[in-house]
Amino acid sequence: MANKLWSGRFKQSTNRLVEDFSASIDFDWRLYKEDIMGSIAHCKMLGQCGILSEEEVEKIVDGLIEIQREIERGEFEFDRALEDIHMAIEQRLIEKIGDIGGKLHTARSRNDQIALDLRLYLRNTINSFLKLLHSLKTSIVDLAEQHSETVMPGFTHLQHAQPVVLGHHLMAYYEMFRRDTARLKDCLKRTNVMPLGSAALAGTTFPVDRKITADYLEFPEISRNSIDAVSDRDFVIEFLSAVSLIMLHLSRLSEELVLWSTTEFNFVTISDAFCTGSSIMPQKKNPDVPELIRGKTGRVYGALMSLLTMMKGLPLAYNRDLQEDKEPLFDAIDTAGTCVEIMARLLSELVFDKERLREMAGEGFITATDLADYLVRKNIPFRRAHHITGEIVRYCIEKNRKLEELELNELREFSGAFSEDIFEFIAVESSVSKRESFGGTAPELVKKAIEVAKTELEDEKNQFNL
């Protein structure tokens, strides 16, 4: 009982099973830097407000710094009996400097302490993710630039639809991850709010100055309601939602890489460094990395669903249920961060087969829409042009012919509007180059989009000091 900092009200020792069941130190030790940082800021504020003496502040701060060194040297003992990282550090502080260490918790509760630690930790995590996304987007743009004129089949329903440029297809993922970046930046605004000073739920009777603490910790905003500050975890849920979308986009890209690397597609070769073999089939080269990213997406979704479910029935203010926010959060951070990093590296070593892509771009009557558009330009209503083109495609299927293999006289049997220029109009390269509407796949537009992206990435690079 003596080592419980809250034991005064209790007659019995905590059941050992309960200690093991309720302890969070096995995972919340990861917050030690944030906990010590927040404690130092809190201590200095107490000193400036005259609640602690200068000598007390100096001893507490020096003790906390030494505790951080002990942790980083691997000398600190994490005891489950002390429940969490906050109690472990405070107990060690008291052991080191005596009763003065017990004054650190003046005007503070573990409730606002953990809210602070989480916000500090997530603030750093978001900045790390923004840098990881920068690397991923850079890999995508570099790859797209290599293939700004590489023609490939575009798909809908996994069927050949219209020819596009590979660079344009890749830049679609750039746009997805660009939005992910924006979401994380927006999430950072709501995360970067200082809750310390809210105490257990009602604020404190001590004459604290929360702005001093916020300035020490570089928080631009202070929480406006003490009850909300200690019971809120929507900033964690928002982060997990943003990370889930990152994983969704990674999973879609992974699925395409899995498909495109098959013998049936044969569009791309994934580097051996990102594949594995079979224990029984010596010829196999399996795209394990994209498959694992696709699989780990569900794991990150699970973290999001875990917190949504945990929070949905909690009354105000703090409840111990909130301890369950950290394990899924930490796991999602580790999982998603690794997936983003490894995908960036995988993309930089992809090799696309340009000839195969061009060959397949000519299959599946892929310029049929262009043929219909040609008729529209000859003053035939689009619906009528669509029907005529459908009849021509059916004719080709029956005759086992391609559109460009038909003779002009055959085409004129379906419409007298056809002239010799139809064959140039339905050529694959012509189809691609004519799609010049803003955001389209024409190579010149793709190159401009890549230049815009490169400028954006350069701005980010300067922002992150990369």
> Which residue numbers are catalytic?
157, 278
Residue 298 CB burial class (10 angstroms; 0-12, 13-18, ≥19) = exposed
Residue in 410, 417, 407 with CA at minimum distance from that of residue 381: 417
Q: How far apart are CA 117 and CA 124, in angstroms?
A: 11
Q: Which residues contact 341 (CB under 8 A, 6 or more apart)?
A: 132, 135
Q: How far apart are CA 326 and CA 328, in angstroms?
A: 6
**What SS3 class is residue 157?**
coil
Position 413: which residue type?
A: E
Residue in 250, 228, 289, 235 with CA at minimum distance from that of residue 125: 235
**428 in Cβ contact with 151 (< 8 Å):** yes
**426 in Cβ contact with 403 (< 8 Å):** yes
Residue in 427, 423, 390 with CA at minimum distance from that of residue 406: 423
The tokens 């669509």 sit on which residue? 386
The Cβ-side half-sphere exposure at 35, using a 13 Å CA radius, reads: 24
Q: How far apart are CA 368 and CA 37, in angstroms?
A: 64
Point out which residues pair with 335 in neighbouring strands: none
Q: What six digits make up the tokens of 322? A: 């909130």
**328 in Cβ contact with 303 (< 8 Å):** yes
Alpha helices in 203-233 (DSSP H): 210-216, 226-231
Q: How far apart are CA 8 and CA 63, in angstroms?
A: 25
